[in-house]
A and B are shown apart, each in its own frame.
Chain A
Amino acid sequence: MQHIISILLENEAGALSRVAGLFSARAYNIESLTVAPTEDPLVSRMTIVTSGSADVIEQITKQLNKLIEVVKVVDLCEAGHLARELMLIKVKATGAARDEMKRMADIFRGRIVDVTDAIYVIELTGDGAKLDAFIEAIDASLILETVRTGVCGIARGERVLRV
């Protein structure tokens, strides 16, 4: 099953490689990893999407907690949560396809953020499935480039992850 692990860690040089190294050394898989500083510049927030049995996820959280720079670890999937990902996608937009592309972007609540005579760059946020659906929905031959941030997530309601 897929899990979204949220990690607060000290914003120190090398902390990221310690986390990444742990995943590769112990053969845990990483589907995506995002990291950036929080409102407190000393602390970064990392979101890792991984999958594995309950036992594996338990080991992952325990092993993460052992890393000295790690402040806190939660598995967001233990309760209600939001997961969002940002995608920028560069597509060909000429002739009839130009209008069609605009319509698809609207349907998916995307925004066109860069325009030339022949090209759109569309910005889209949502959960991973929505972004996948957009890619499925448009003509594959029109896609020039995609870039996705990977998932970042937060718990719903009162649950808060902070130092």
Chain B
Amino acid sequence: MELTGAEIVVQSLAAEGVEFVFGYPGGSVLHIYDELFKQDKVKHVLVRHEQGAAHAADGYSRASRKVGVCLVTSGPGVTNAVTGIATAYMDSIPMIIITGQVPTHAIGLDAFQEVDTVGITRPCVKHNFLVKDVRDLAVTMKKAFHIATTGRPGPVLVDIPKDVTADRCEFVYPERVEIRTYQPVVRGHSGQIRKALELLLEAKRPMIYTGGGIVLADASNELTRLVHKLGFPCTNTLMGLGGFPGTDPQFVGMLGMHGTYEANMAMQHCDVLLAIGARFDDRVIGDPRDFARFSRRIIHIDVDPSSISKRVRVDVPIVGDVREVLLELTAQLEAHAGAVDKPALDAWWTQINEWRGRDCLRYDRAATIIKPQFVVEKLWEVTGGDAIVTSDVGQHQMWAAQFYKFDKPRRWINSGGLGTMGFGLPSAMGAFMANPEATVACVTGEASIQMCIQELSTCKQYHLPIKIINLNNRYMGMVRQWQEFFHGNRYAESYMDALPDFVRLAEAYGHVGLRIENPSDVEPALREAFARRDQLVFLDFLTDATENVYPMVAGGKGLTDMILAEDL
């Protein structure tokens, strides 16, 4: 049957099983909106800003392991979405972005709302397409989904000129596509896996360091099983939290710039490091030269060869899907005659427990002013540790990561790579739409929340009962902390003056707002908010304005060069 390009777009989405499209209309996508209007398989969610559309699609994907889809118009629709696309790209999130474009005959003529979408987004997508002929549309949609979801996932953009959405052609949605130049490796090399196992069994001071790859590969069960079998300590990056249970005794906490003392010490002093789906980011290992001063042998499992030996030389590279490789590694371990060096491991744990004894996340529990860490601890208690928690960017993000002990993957949703303020609320919308039974909380700061505050209106329209935990310290706290430590207490432009009354703001959008000023009111307020199952509640906690995130490894410093709370 002959269909229009717009019909083909919608039919392709339906064929891919897409439930929700997060979008915002405009001239170049009107044919597509018209087709969305005529059917009810693919539901459209109207955001209030295209950045919100991209973050919502992203949050939907992170919380559900499905592909997030967003739809925006040409020109400003695209440029507004770019922050969200780049955010997804940096964290390897599978997403499809459909963008309208001016008609083919107008391209290049500075037409109304024309931008070079493919050019602007090229550096922040896994791939992008400009579809100039309606006959290429269906296969391009199929390719886009294929590329976004396989190998190292990422956002893929499909730019469609308006005339292509009106043109007609025969529609057949391909069952599969072959792209001869794109064949991601899935199975790891058995010989390399054997070498890795030998190294692990020889280790005296082993360490397992895992990241977002575990979550993306849905391999947390496989990881947990292997870590338990080996009895080794395990740390997660910010992106990997929940990949290994946060309450497990073998978990030594997050590592890196704001990682725990024990995780960073163990990372630095181990003799064999098993890195899985983690990319040795600069916020994770500190100064790479300092890191390299300590000799350790490194095994690195990653689906993307370019993540391996990028910042740190690796001894045993294993390219493959984390889940596949972990299954084979565990099978080889079970079949192996040897065992881990138990006495050495016991001594290593004694050392680690001594480091743990520093209690590096300690804070003043007797304070009469609300400590942000306390709010997150209570949030964890009140939600039974089982909420989906999204966050914005800043100190509150770090406290959420440190104090909410995520036991399951896809419960912690944050922008790690790009560090995008404004991510928290729209990503919470997507996370809720993916899991309407779940409890969804957004931990934010008074600065970040204002970057996508307009989405409170979307939450009203679609009845999204998110709980917003605003750790309101009246500062861009993370900026203020750096200024305190590294810029002689000169707080240039980091004080948030003229803040809105968040309670009344929430009410203006039709939600419930609560202000909490005393530590003793924290838990009751949280309980009250979470009891309101059907309402969005904006909890504005007035927290200690001068609290800092500890431990901290200053930029460019060695990983164990930590500033601890007790030093000050």
Contacts and interface: CB of A to CB of B under 8 A. Distances in A.
Interface of A: 9-10, 13-14, 17-18, 21, 25, 55, 58-59, 62-63, 65-66, 68-71, 163
B305 A62 contact: yes
B310 interface: yes
Given A25-B123, A65-B305, A14 B180 contact: no
B547 interface: no
A70 to B, nearest CB: 6
A50 B127 CA distance: 24
B455 to A, nearest CB: 31
B130 interface: yes
B181 A21 contact: no
A41 B275 CA distance: 43
Interface in B495-511: none
A68 B130 contact: no
From B122, B123, B127, B306, name the one whose CB has the most chain A CB atoms within 10 angstroms. B306
Top 5 A-B pairs, shortest CB-CB distance: A62-B306, A68-B127, A71-B181, A25-B123, A62-B305
A42 to B, nearest CB: 10
Q: B-side binding surface: helix, strand, loop or mixed? A: mixed
28 contacts: A10-B181, A14-B118, A14-B130, A17-B119, A17-B122, A18-B122, A21-B122, A21-B123, A25-B123, A55-B309, A58-B309, A59-B306, A59-B310, A62-B305, A62-B306, A63-B306, A65-B305, A65-B306, A66-B304, A66-B306, A68-B127, A68-B147, A68-B179, A68-B181, A68-B182, A70-B181, A71-B181, A163-B180
From A18, A66, A70, A163, name the one whose CB has the most chain B CB atoms within 10 angstroms. A66
Given A10-B181, A68-B182, A69-B181, 5 more contacts: A59-B310, A63-B306, A65-B305, A70-B181, A163-B180
B13 to A, nearest CB: 21
Interface residues of B, number: 16
Contacts, number: 32
A163 B130 CA distance: 25
A163 B118 CA distance: 27
Nearest to B128: A14
A25 B120 CA distance: 12
A58 B123 CA distance: 20
Contacts of A10: 181
Interface in B144-164: 147
A14 B107 CA distance: 15
Nearest to B304: A66
Contacts of A62: 305-306
Given A21-B122, A21-B123, A65-B305, A71 B147 contact: no
A17 B118 CA distance: 10
Contact of A71 (B122, B123, B180, B310): B180
A71 B179 CA distance: 10
A70 B181 CA distance: 6
A44 B357 CA distance: 61
A25 B180 CA distance: 26
Nearest to A26: B123
Nearest to A8: B181
Contacts of B119: 17
Interface in B61-103: none
Contacts of B123: 21, 25
A58 B305 CA distance: 10
A17 to B, nearest CB: 7
B439 to A, nearest CB: 38
Nearest to B181: A71
A63 B119 CA distance: 18
A65 B147 CA distance: 14
A116 B304 CA distance: 58
A62 B130 CA distance: 25
From B123, B147, B181, B182, name the one whose CB has the most chain A CB atoms within 10 angstroms. B181
Contacts of B179: 68
Contacts of B306: 59, 62-63, 65-66
A163 B305 CA distance: 21
A82 B478 CA distance: 55
Interface in B277-307: 304-306
A63 B118 CA distance: 19
Nearest to B143: A68
A6 B66 CA distance: 37
Contacts of A13: 130
B322 to A, nearest CB: 18
A42 B20 CA distance: 37
Nearest to A55: B309
Interface string B100-130: 0000000000000000001100110001001
Contacts of B304: 66
Contacts of A17: 119, 122
Interface in B299-321: 304-306, 309-310
Contacts of A21: 122-123
Nearest to A62: B306
A133 to B, nearest CB: 38
Contacts of B127: 68
Contacts of B118: 14
Nearest to A25: B123
A58 B308 CA distance: 10
Contacts of A58: 309
B223 to A, nearest CB: 25
A61 B305 CA distance: 10
Contacts of B180: 71, 163
A137 B180 CA distance: 48
Contacts of A163: 180
Nearest to A21: B122
A51 to B, nearest CB: 19
A14 B309 CA distance: 29
From B147, B180, B182, name the one whose CB has the most chain A CB atoms within 10 angstroms. B182
A59 B122 CA distance: 19
A56 to B, nearest CB: 10
A10 B180 CA distance: 10
